[in-house]
């Protein structure tokens, strides 16, 4: 039986524009699915707060104002619970936050509102968004819609689970070390981490090391491009921030057109090594290596050049990436507002460990880490220079079971994250765009590949992704709750 969530986000927008569905009807449809599928012992756990009344009021107001060309007019989405939405608690996945209710929207929430979207609530995230799994003590645990005993990844785990379960057409996420791509890969979705500086409201430029940027999670490449367009240009014209990157040959940053056309032939590299290989016993599941090889063959058949790629060498004196990244990750947690023993008692072990280690760092050590990662960034860009994009596995392992990460041993849990997702964080350090694509299934679970682009070249990633999507038709695959 047909239901509204079976339509892509693009198709839903077209229906809205033609008057075949109203913003209120679409909002009510998704709120009903959230109410039915998200809560309870076996619920998806994608949402930490649902603002049903505010969403209906917003949808009604859009309907009264009349149809608009705003890029997201009438489309439902939800805010990751690291960003503020006026009137809804911002929990940050932590007992420490004490459910602060902001009076104003964060910048990205305001941008999405300007673009015409209807926010249905807040999606779950791990404590302060610091881990690649969404199982916060404060709850809810976010379950993978494909198998409820498995995790959905993180830190945008709630956003990805909501889209995969058909609770939203698409969702904004943020990514400081893989937090869009990890959950998108685990739940069978397209997840795009833009270049540093691409999304004005979440550019990464103001974050430590320039790591964390905002980007879209969607079921199709075109839907991801549609949401990226709105995040960059909420009025449908030029980016509001003159420091934002501009699309190559397209001053208005129209990514949707690139994704729909899906044109071009490119030179691609294939990479199976990660920067964590010397620090931990990283072993890519042979089935996922098979998916990577099959995808490379598909790309070759599409007319792309395919060759082996490699990371910068680990010669003496080369940047020690694992040590440098750990230092920056710890430093990024130092500002979490935990001052007393009572405050620390409210933090999870991983967060408390990161905060304490971060506060032990001296200025010289932090400065050296930033300089080392900058050198690593330059070396990665140089190593990839002969390729238009580099193909890697999205993850080294299939989605782990809930509780698989050792939450009581922060050192071990940090290592486990690297064993699952060794291919993501170095892309943030290099400031490059990357997209995960749900190209296959392995034993009934999603399996993806990652494409890493040149600086500022999201257009190439979207074009290649569209070509693979037309060939592989992954948008037809859904979990049982669909």
- Residue 243 is predicted with a pLDDT of 55
Cβ atoms of 151 and 142 within 8 Å: the answer is yes
pLDDT of residue 244: 61
pLDDT of residue 262: 97
What is the per-residue pLDDT for 313?
76
Q: Which of 8, 80, 195, 233 is catalytic?
A: 80
For each of the domains in the chain, give its residue range(s) and CATH number, in order of start: 4-315+372-476 (3.90.1300.10)
pLDDT at residue 236, rounded to an integer? 76
Judge contact between 449 and 393, C-beta under 8 A: yes
332 is catalytic: no
- DSSP-derived 3-state class of residue 80: strand
Cα separation, 115 vs 230, whole angstroms: 6
- Among 155, 156, 174, 332, the active-site one is 155
Orientation of helix 23-37 relative to helix 9-18, angle to 10°: 140
Runs of H (alpha helix) within 72-186:
107-114, 157-164, 181-186
CA distance 238 to 250: 10
β-bridge mates for residue 33, sequence order = none
Whether residue 179 lies in the annotated active site: yes
Give CA–CA dist 10/14, Å, rounded. 6
Within a 10 A sphere around the Cβ of 293, how many other Cβ atoms? 12
Other beta carbons within 10 angstroms of residue 296's beta carbon come to 19
**Residue 246: its pLDDT value, please?**
61
Are the C-beta atoms of residues 39 and 14 closer than 8 Å to each other? no
Q: For position 99, what pLDDT does the model report? A: 74
What is the pTM for the complete model shown? 0.97
Dist. CA 75–CA 22, nearest whole Å: 10
Determine contact, residues 398/442, Cβ cutoff 8 Å.
yes
User: Catalytic: 379?
Assistant: no
DSSP string, 27-72: HHHHHHHHHHHTSSTTS---EEEE-HHHHHHHHHHHHHH-----TT
Beta carbons within 8 Å of 419's beta carbon, 6+ residues apart? 280, 281, 282, 283, 396, 397
> One digit per residue, pLDDT tens: the chain, 482 residues?
899 999 999 999 999 999 999 999 999 999 999 999 999 989 999 999 999 999 999 999 999 999 898 999 999 999 999 999 999 999 999 999 877 999 999 999 999 999 999 999 999 999 999 999 999 999 999 999 999 999 999 999 999 999 999 999 999 999 999 999 999 999 999 999 999 999 999 999 988 999 999 999 999 999 999 999 999 999 877 666 555 666 554 444 589 999 999 999 999 999 999 999 999 999 999 999 999 999 999 999 999 999 999 999 766 566 799 999 999 999 999 999 999 999 999 999 999 999 999 999 999 999 999 999 999 999 999 999 999 999 999 999 999 999 999 999 999 999 999 999 999 999 999 999 999 999 999 999 999 999 999 999 999 999 999 999 999 999 999 999 99
- Exactly one of 94, 106, 119, 179 is catalytic; name it: 179
């Amino acid at each position: 039986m047909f239901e509204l969530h079976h339509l892509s986000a693009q198709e839903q927008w077209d229906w809205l524009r033609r008057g075949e569905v109203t913003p209120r009807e679409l909002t009510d449809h998704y709120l009903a699915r959230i109410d039915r599928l998200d809560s309870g012992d076996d619920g998806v756990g994608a949402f930490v707060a649902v603002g049903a009344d505010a969403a209906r009021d917003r949808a009604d107001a859009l309907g009264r104002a009349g149809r608009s060309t705003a890029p997201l007019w009438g489309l439902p989405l939800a805010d990751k619970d690291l960003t503020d939405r006026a009137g809804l608690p911002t929990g940050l996945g932590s007992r420490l936050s004490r459910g602060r209710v902001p009076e104003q929207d964060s910048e990205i929430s305001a941008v999405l509102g300007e673009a015409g979207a209807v926010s249905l609530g807040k999606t779950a995230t791990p404590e302060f968004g610091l881990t690649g799994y969404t199982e916060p003590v404060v709850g809810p645990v976010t379950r993978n819609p494909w198998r409820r005993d498995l995790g959905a990844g993180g830190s945008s785990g709630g956003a990805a689970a909501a889209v995969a379960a058909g609770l939203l057409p698409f969702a904004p996420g943020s990514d400081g070390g893989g937090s869009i791509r990890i959950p998108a890969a685990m739940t069978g979705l397209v997840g795009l981490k833009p270049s540093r500086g691409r999304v004005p409201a979440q550019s990464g430029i103001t974050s430590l090391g320039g790591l964390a940027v905002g980007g879209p999670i969607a079921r199709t490449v075109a839907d991801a491009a549609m949401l990226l367009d709105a995040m960059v240009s909420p009025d449908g014209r030029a980016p509001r921030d003159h420091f934002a990157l501009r699309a190559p040959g397209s001053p208005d940053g129209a990514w949707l057109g690139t994704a729909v056309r899906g044109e071009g032939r490119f030179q691609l590299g294939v990479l199976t090594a990660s920067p964590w290989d010397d620090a931990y016993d990283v072993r890519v599941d042979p089935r996922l290596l098979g998916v990577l090889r099959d995808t490379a063959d598909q790309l070759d058949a599409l007319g792309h050049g395919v060759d082996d790629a490699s990371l910068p060498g680990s010669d003496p004196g080369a940047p020690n990436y694992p040590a440098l990244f750990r230092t920056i990750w710890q430093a990024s947690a130092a500002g979490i507002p935990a001052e007393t023993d009572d405050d620390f008692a409210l933090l999870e072990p991983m967060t408390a460990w990161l905060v304490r280690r971060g506060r032990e760092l001296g200025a010289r050590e932090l400065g050296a880490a930033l300089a080392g990662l900058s050198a690593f960034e330059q070396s990665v860009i140089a190593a990839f220079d002969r390729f238009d994009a580099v193909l890697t596995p999205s993850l080294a392992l299939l989605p782990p079971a809930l509780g698989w990460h050792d939450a009581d041993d922060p050192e071990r849990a940090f290592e486990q994250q690297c064993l699952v997702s060794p291919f993501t964080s170095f892309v943030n350090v290099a400031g490059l765009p990357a997209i995960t694509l749900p190209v296959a299934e392995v034993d009934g679970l999603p399996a993806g590949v990652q494409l890493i682009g040149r600086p500022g070249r999201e257009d190439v990633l979207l074009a290649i992704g569209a070509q693979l999507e037309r060939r592989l038709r992954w948008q037809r695959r859904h979990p049982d709750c669909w």
